């Protein structure tokens, strides 16, 4: 009887832990994608927030607070996605601005 009661109490926690693992991996992939896109330099607020939320998610999971850990992991993923989009937009804008500056400087040189 005690074994059955213990299993009934522990079984839901196993589901929460696996849900957290999926959320954590998704967040880690998103953070690394943002880092690869250069978000640490171009989207500092979003990138730093994503790293902080991911750290907090891992800390909450360490205390078996899986619902909170999952919420923090999802916030980390959302911010990392925003950081990556901002970094990509910034990197796409920079070459265009440089081309415009070169074109203007060529126009100034010609009589």
pTM assigned to the model? 0.74
Q: Look at residue 21 and tell me whether its pLDDT is greater than 90.
A: yes
CA max distance for the chain: 96
Q: At what angle do helices 44-62 and 2-36 cross, to 10 degrees?
A: 160
Question: pLDDT for 38-95, tens place per residue?
Answer: 999 999 999 999 999 999 999 999 999 999 999 999 999 999 999 999 999 998 876 6
Question: pLDDT for 30-51, tens place per residue?
Answer: 999 999 999 999 999 999 999 9
CA quadruple 24, 26, 28, 34: dihedral sign:
negative
Mean pLDDT, rounded, for 14-27 = 89
pLDDT, position 93: 77
- Of 40 and 101, the structure prediction assigns the larger pLDDT to 40
Cβ proximity of 95 and 52 under 8 Å: no
């Amino acid at each position: 009887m005690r074994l059955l009661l213990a299993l009934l109490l522990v079984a839901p926690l196993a589901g929460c832990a696996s849900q957290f693992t999926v959320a954590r991996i998704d967040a880690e992939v998103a953070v690394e994608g943002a880092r690869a896109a250069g978000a640490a330099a171009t989207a500092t607020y979003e990138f730093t927030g994503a790293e902080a939320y991911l750290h907090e998610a891992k800390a909450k999971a360490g205390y078996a607070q899986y619902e909170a850990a999952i919420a923090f992991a999802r916030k980390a993923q959302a911010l990392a996605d925003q950081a990556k989009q901002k970094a990509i937009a910034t990197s796409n804008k920079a070459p265009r601005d440089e081309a415009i500056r070169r074109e203007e400087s060529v126009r100034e040189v010609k009589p």
